[in-house]
Structure 1
Amino acid sequence: MKRINIYLLLILFLTISACEKGLEPEVFNSISPENFLKTEGDVKTAVTGIYYELRGGGWERYTASWGGWLTQGIGCTDEWTTNWATDEQTEFLWRPESNFLSLFYTAMLPAITKATGLIKQLESAPVDPVLRERYTAELRTIRALIAFDLYDQYGPLPIIVDPEYALNPARAQSYKPSRPEKGWYVGFLETELSEVQRVLPVSYENSADYGRMTKGTAMMVLLKLYMRERQWDKAAHTAQQIMDLKFYALQADYASIWSYSNQHNNELIFTIPSMATGGYGNNFLAETLPPDYVSHTNVPLTRWSGYRVPWAVWDRFEQNDKRRERLVRWYWNGAQMIDGRAANTHLKLGALPMKYQENPNTDGTWDASEYVIYRYADVLLCRAEALNEISGGPTQEAIDLVNLLRSRAGVNPIRLSDFNQSSFRDRILQERQWELCTEGSRRQDLIRHGKLISDALARGKRFATDKDTLYPIPQSAINENPNLKQNAGY
């Protein structure tokens, strides 16, 4: 194909290429239709460029900064607050004009178009057909992952999955699609995420390929889709399929899941790999630490004093729960231990979410700790929840799955005889917060349980209404496409 979409050219200029050290920056400055996608290296570089779309320059997208996937998933819930001026999000005051709500939308919707265009171009790439099929499956999975997260936040969107619009600028410029029906959108995601499983590997032999899409990643996104749609039979089956891979396993030590010294562990299903390089690292620790926090390892840490977990959430943990240790109440300021529950401290709003820990090799910015998006503990909790709905009440298997996580946390097991369907449903929601706090799932969980708005109102968020279970389509997108219907209530 002689016409190369400008988006794909930009991907190659802003790409990262998998090489001997993993996903490292590689700049290309001589690209033409004659030398594009002619070798396996070209294809790998182009595909890896789509992976780059998940992190962009290190802000928003699938990172820990405000307006990214993580804060969109917890910022309006009970488990997140901040010292920064984010009242629009925490107080349910967002509008179609709210800038923070447009960041994920405006970055990730075009990423789907780019993936679609490259999928089509790979069809004629003169490379090994087996390799081409795998790369195509990777692209389809990335596209579905992004499409699901956009759907979860905004509802069905007019994603471009037709290469005629992705690769033909003239047609694309005049394309003003309306929003698709929910049934089509969900069906598209289900088909894509099911079909790619036949091709994707469970893991990659070459460690440099870590972070690429796997069979487990596709299954996990599909599981999240089924949970969101409350398709309990399919959710339970998919969770069991992930368990049957016999590849993922709980780490013995909860804190080690995020440790810089335990990267790529087998509890992790999907992560965004990081490097200690500007634009490619993890800033969660810097986003969190108070200004007088002093490192345990004498590292000159960057401290932006932002994120906190409200004390009401901290108080719900059982006293000996090891998971609460990652929500730090006490810290050293160089002269004394600061107790966050004392008056007038930098922790007056809540505890420090420190699942990502000090790394003596970095200052807390652009750290090499990978961003954890999905992990195996979530699979166990999803299956337990689905079994409760299927069986009209908890089963011993569901109880046992929850107790696997409670055992690791050092708290007493729960008993089947103590629950009916309703009380176990509530308990699962609470167990999910104890296990997954600040990992991005809370908004989705509360919506699924019908409690996002009631919980917000109970916390004094008086502007929360039923419309807020979806974010508004950014006004800029509505202005650009008059056929794009706004979500109800906005």
Structure 2
Amino acid sequence: MKKYTILLFTIMVLCFATSCEDLLEEKTYTALQPSDFFNRLEDAEITLNAIYGELRYSDITRDAVTLQEVCTDIHLERSGGIFTFNEPIEEFVWTSSHQWLRDDWERRYRGIFKANVVLDNLDPITGDEQRKAEIRAEAVFLRAFNYFLLYDKFGPVPLVTTSVTEVTDRPARASEQEMIDFMVSEFRDAAEVLPLTPPRDQYGRPTKGAALTALTKLYMMIRDWDNAAATALEVMNLGIYDLFVEGNRTELFSPDNQRDNEFIFVSVMSNTPNNDTGDGWLSHVVPRGYQWQYPPRQIFAAEYKIRSAFIDTFEPEDERLDAFLFEFVNADGDTIVLGEDNARSLKYPEYPNQDASRSSDDFPFFRYADVLLCRSEALNELNGLNQESVDLLNMIRDAAGVETFLVDDFSSAQEFKQFLLAERGREFHTEALRRQDLIRHGVFIEMAIERGKSAQDFHVRYPIPITEIERNPNLIQNDGY
């Protein structure tokens, strides 16, 4: 028996040895190369469309609120399994092992890779030249926007501009100036080509205004006030955006108005019931016992709440207060008052077309209100207290139903700057802008310490995920981590 086993093993080895070369040379019929697929503009657009899936905040709880507002003076979160992820962010004890930082990094680079695939394979395709130019500009914008989101959280990162890479490639981080120059160039190039209205009449695609607004926000981030003021004015001079003033300010986010022309660039959520590409915010927010307007809907254990100190910055007549839930009537008819540090942001309201835990609230990346306040802030930095800055602030306040100001109502440019920062909080809460605003104003760490958090200067940037450091020895970790 032993002899037969050895003989059989020897025959198998000899057969494998003689056929190995043929196996390696066998033609593969089931794998597609880019050259097999990118033959039409429609093919390029399929890959382009996949980038939006990486940008979509299926749960704005993570990238939008936890990483950008739970670490600020606005939001906190209690209860549920995701408190494990929220607590380190709130307490400023996050580490490079935080799963949501890793997820964010990976999603951004998947989007960048897909944009590179489009750009690397678009030139040989023949067809409508205008459509081809728009696809290229759209891919350039989306690649730069993903880098913008990375830069906001992590600082300079490796600039990968081709989809043709080797497994052994280990790109180092770009310098600050290389990173900034790249994004400025990309946004400006995209703005030169993208139309004023969404390409191919498909809402949610970037426009000239979106590219210029992204550039404005980048200039604000790096405190380049001259270019920020000038680029914001370019957006204003396009003449296609304005503020929503046709009803209560909170109605801007209602089903009837979510495509109002105050929105410049949004993450479009599906409006198809029973889908997993909608926005799951409300199920993470409303308290137990809350009665839905459009049942049935799930209420998760997680509870994102608003700090009372933030609510106290609003004037009583401010229409934007209507975005918060302070009390509700439960199924037994009892009025439940939520109390201290327990109000909820319902900025993104219920929609009729939704499933058990998701709705079709689009998430705004850029709004016209932000453009106006960016120019207001930049002009105040450049010129000191001035009439135009106050006028731009007044446009936002008038839309919200609160009193407006005269220049003389402010004693200095510094007092105006402080008020403007508070106004931005009231206008843009739950829109992932607060952390960036506090860092730009130089008060992010100071305010966290005042709340009793373990904040240090290096916390203005998140750590590069440890998984990326382990994969790439050329990546240098941010200071302090």
Q: TM-score, normalised by structure 1?
A: 0.86
Unaligned runs of 5+ in 1: 1-28, 342-347
- Measure how far apart 1:231 and its partner are: 0.5
Contact kept? 2:198, 2:206, Cα under 8 Å: no
Secondary structure at the counterpart of residue 400 of structure 1: helix
Query: 349-358 or 300-309: which moved more?
Result: 300-309
Q: Is the 8 A contact 1:285 1:364 kept in 2?
A: no
Q: CA shift at 1:37, angstroms? A: 1.9
Task: Report if aligned partners of 1:294, 1:301 keep a CA contact under 8 Å in 2.
Answer: no
Q: Structure 2 matches for 1:279-428, cutoff 5 A? A: 279-295=276-292, 297=293, 299-304=295-300, 305-334=302-331, 335-341=333-339, 348-363=340-355, 365-391=357-383, 393-419=384-410, 420-428=412-420
Measured after TM superposition, the shift of residue 34 of structure 1 is 6.2
Q: Equivalents in 2 of 1:83, 1:233: separation in Å? A: 42
Say if 1:109 and 1:159, in contact at 8 Å, map to a contact too: no
Preserved CA contact (<8 Å) 1:101 1:474: yes
What residue in structure 1 maps to residue 164 of structure 2? 167
Letter of the 1:233 counterpart: D
For 2:252, the equivalent position in structure 1 comes to: 257
Does structure 2 retain, via aligned residues, the 8 Å contact 1:383–1:398? yes
Matched, 1:65 2:61: yes
267-276 or 380-389: bigger deviation? 267-276
Per the TM alignment, residue 126 of structure 1 is displaced from its structure 2 partner at its CA by 2.2
Mapping 1:128-277, distance limit 5 Å:
128-161=128-161, 163=162, 166-168=163-165, 172-204=166-198, 207=201, 209-252=202-245, 253=247, 254-275=249-270, 276=272, 277=274
SS where residue 67 of structure 2 aligns?
Answer: helix
What CA distance in whole angstroms lies between the structure 1 residues aligned with 2:407 and 2:195?
Answer: 37
Give 1:458 shift: 0.5
Superposed CA offset, 1:39-84 (max 9, x none): 23222212112222213xx64xxx4032x24432212111110113
Checking the alignment, whether the CA contact within 8 Å between 1:37 and 1:43 is kept in structure 2 is: yes
After superposing on structure 2, the runs of 4+ consecutive aligned residues of structure 1 that deviate more than 6 Å are none
The letter for the 2-side match of 1:369 is D
> Aligned to 2:106, what secondary structure does the other structure show?
helix
Shift in Å, 1:32? 5.7
Structure 1 residues 200, 175: closer, same or farther in 2, change over 3 A?
Answer: same
User: SS of the counterpart of 1:372?
Assistant: strand
The code of the aligned residue for 2:350 comes to E
SS of equivalent to 1:358: coil
Partner deviation per Cα, 1:134-156 (whole Å, 9 max, x = no partner): 10100010011110110110010
Aligned counterparts of 2:172 and 2:33: Cα–Cα separation in 1: 34
Please name the residue that 2:473 is paired with: 482
Q: Out of 431, 441, 452, which is 2:444 matched to?
A: 452
Task: Give the alignment partner of residue 472 of structure 1, picking from 463, 472, 476.
Answer: 463
Aligned length: 440
Report what 1:16 is aligned to.
none
Q: Distance in 2 between matches of 1:224 and 1:367?
A: 28
8 A contact 2:294–2:351 mirrored in 1: no
Whole-angstrom distance in 2 between the partners of 1:439 and 1:264: 16
Give the letter for the 1:40 counterpart.
Answer: L
Q: What is the Cα-based RMSD across aligned positions, in Å?
A: 1.8
**Contact 1:112/1:159 (CA < 8 Å) preserved in 2?**
no
Identity over the aligned pairs, expressed in percent?
35
TM-score under structure 2 normalisation? 0.88
Q: In structure 2, give the amino acid aligned to 1:92.
A: F
Aligned counterpart for 2:70 among listed residues 75, 80, 93: 75
- Is contact 2:187–2:212 with CA below 8 Å preserved after alignment? yes
| Offset at residue 212 of structure 1 (A) | 0.7
Larger radius of gyration: 2
CA distance in 1, matches of 2:354, 2:130: 40
2:39 maps to 38
Contact map agreement 1:227 1:235 (CA 8 A) in 2: yes
Give distance in 1, aligned partners of 2:457 and 2:199. Answer: 47
1:237-287, CA deviations, whole angstroms, 9 ceiling, x for partnerless residues? 111111111111111131222112223110101111111352321111112
Alignment of 1:6-155 (within 5 A): 35-55=36-56, 59=58, 63-66=59-62, 68-84=63-79, 85=83, 86-155=86-155
Quick one: distance in 1 between partners of 2:95 and 2:36? 46
